[in-house]
Amino acid sequence: MEAAGTEAAEAEAAEAETAEAEEAQESGGVPPGAGGRWGSVVGVGVAAPGPLDHVRGVLRHVTGVPQLAGFPLRDALARRLGLPVVVDKDTDAAALGLALRGKESLAYIHLGTGLGAGLVLDGRIHRGGRNGAGEFGHQVVQLDGPPCRCGRNGCLEALCMDAVRRGRTDEAARILGVGAANLVSLLGVDRVLLGGRTILSAPDAYVDGVAAQLRAVVGAVGAVGAAGAASNGAGGGRAVRVELAPEGTRTVADGAAQLVLAPLFGRAPGAPADGG
C-alpha cells in the first residue's frame, strides 16, 4: 500500500506540475500564485548572453554555447522557482537600468568575455523587430580579419578580444572606439556608457580610447574617466558624452532587477522610459 500511495503521489505531483507549466506558458511564464514561498520577492530578472528571444524567454544561438539554442530559460525557471521570470539580453537589461526618464538616447557597451551593446533610443529600449538589435560585437569591420566565434570573419569582437589577449589595451580601446563611432554616426545617441570587467580593469584607457575615435567623427566629446574628471574635445554642436556606467560591476545585475521592477512603477521594458 505504501508503494501504491507513493506512485499515486508522484503521479499527482507530475500532473500538477504539467498543469502549472501550461498555466505559466499561457500567462507569459508567470505561474499563478507566484511569490508565495519566497515571501516578498516579486519576481526574477535574468540577464543572459544573447542572442535570445526576449518575448518568449528562449535562448538562441548563444555565441560559444550553441547547445543552448532553443532552451526555454524563462519557463524552466518559472516552473522551478514558482515566481514570475523575465529574461533579456545582459546588455539590454543594463541599458534599461541606465536609461534616464525622458527622451534620452544612449548606448551601453559591455566588454567582458564578449562584446555587446544595449540601445536606448528616444527613451525606449531598442530591440528591433527580431529582438536581435545590439549585437554590437558582430559588426564586420575587417573583411579579411580573424575568424569570430559567430562564424564570420573580422567582427569587432574578434579584433577587440584578440587585442585584449595580447595585452594591448590601447589597441582594444581604439577598436572599441571605432565601433562606438559607427553607432553614434548611425543612431545619433547622446551618451556612450562603458562597462564590463575588461573595461573596468583599465577604465581610463578605454574611456579615453573610445572618446578619441568619437572625437574624429563628431568633434565635440565629453569624456568622464574613473575619477570623474571630464575632458572636452574641440568641435561644435552637441557633445556626445563617453563615461563609465555609474553602477560599475553591478550594472547588469541592477538592470536585471529592473526587468521585474520597472513594470511595477510604470516603466515597462521597451516602453518609453517616462511611462508615456
- What average pLDDT does the segment 36-59 reach? 85
Asked if the 2-88 domain carries CATH number 3.30.70, the reply is no
pLDDT tens profile 204-253: 999 999 999 998 887 657 666 665 544 554 444 578 899 999 878 888 99
Distance CA 96, CA 75 (A): 22
The pLDDT score that the predictor gives to residue 151 is 87
Paired sense of beta strands 115-121 and 58-59, if any: unpaired
Which residues have a Cβ under 8 Å from the Cβ of 156 and sit 6 or more positions away? 115, 136, 137, 138, 139, 140, 141, 175, 176, 178, 179
Q: Where in the chain is the domain with CATH 3.30.420.40?
A: 93-252
- Phi, psi dihedral angles at 100 (to 5 degrees): -85, 155
Its CATH architecture, for the domain 93-252, is 2-Layer Sandwich (3.30)
Kind and range of the H or E run holding 238: none
Distance CA 95, CA 10 (A): 44
Global pTM value: 0.74
pLDDT tens profile 95-131: 888 885 556 789 999 998 889 999 988 878 887 776 6
pLDDT tens profile 54-98: 889 999 887 678 888 999 999 999 999 999 999 999 999 998 888
Kind and range of the H or E run holding 106: strand 106-111
pLDDT tens profile 152-180: 999 999 999 999 999 999 999 999 999 99
